[in-house]
Amino acid sequence: MPSEKVLQAKQQAVAELTEKLQNAVAGVVVDYKGINVADDTKLRKELREAGVEYFVIKNTLLRFASKNAGFEELESVLEGTTALAISNDDPVAAAKILAKYAEGSKDKFNIKAGFVDGKILDVEGVNALAKLPSREVLIAQVLAGFNAPISGFANVLNANLRGLVIALNAIAEKQSA
């Protein structure tokens, strides 16, 4: 049985992890068993630049925290080596980076599961999420979709005004002649 001090430290770690899970918009759980130090450093740098927090976590701690956060479905994948990537801003960033890395790692690095806005995703769900464009690109596409009808309407109005001006100009030239 662990000492009282160790038990309190573990309870504190679970409480902090629970809070991180609840505040995150998205997260990805991975199996990192075959990754070397150089690749791990490169991956961590890329995730950090994207605003994603990535860390290795004990399955037991993540099991308790996921239960507290309402992510009980994650318990089935908590075996072997486990790392967690959490994003508080961009729901696509962690999935996109980790799916790209897992694809190129030849089964040395595997995605186990993920979550977005409280919904648990399986491996296929995380991969589908990774294929989505980033939030900024999606917003730009929506705005372009809104802008297209307005631009078309403005062009139609301009064409009508241009036609009116040409007609009035022709009438004015005819009368002055």
Q: What angle do CA 105, 109, 54 make, to 5 degrees?
A: 120
User: Domain range spanning residue 154?
Assistant: 133-177
DSSP for residue 30: E
Residue 86 has a pLDDT of 93
Three-state DSSP at 109 gives coil
DSSP for residue 12: H
Residue 28 has a pLDDT of 92
Question: Are residue 117 and residue 90 in the same domain, yes or no?
Answer: yes
Question: Are residue 60 and residue 146 in the same domain, yes or no?
Answer: no
Question: Are residue 23 and residue 80 in the same domain, yes or no?
Answer: yes
Q: Of all residues in the chain, what percent carry a pLDDT higher than 70?
A: 88
Q: Find the CATH number of the domain harbouring 110.
A: 3.30.70.1730
Mean pLDDT of 147-169: 70
Question: Are residue 30 and residue 94 in the same domain, yes or no?
Answer: yes
Specify the range with the lowest mean pLDDT, choosing from 3-17, 74-88, 103-117, 126-140.
126-140
One-character DSSP codes across 55-94: EE--HHHHHHHHHHHT-GGGGGG--SS-EEEEESS-TTHH
Question: Are residue 16 and residue 52 in the same domain, yes or no?
Answer: yes
pLDDT digits (tens, 9 = 90+) for 13-54: 888 988 988 888 899 999 988 788 888 899 899 999 989 999
Tell me the pLDDT of the chain averaged across its residues. 84
Calculate helix-pair angle for 59-69, 4-23, nearest 10 degrees: 50
Question: Are residue 96 and residue 172 in the same domain, yes or no?
Answer: no
Residue 91 has pLDDT above 90, yes or no: no
159 Rama sector, left if φ>0, alpha if ψ -120 to 50, beta otherwise? alpha
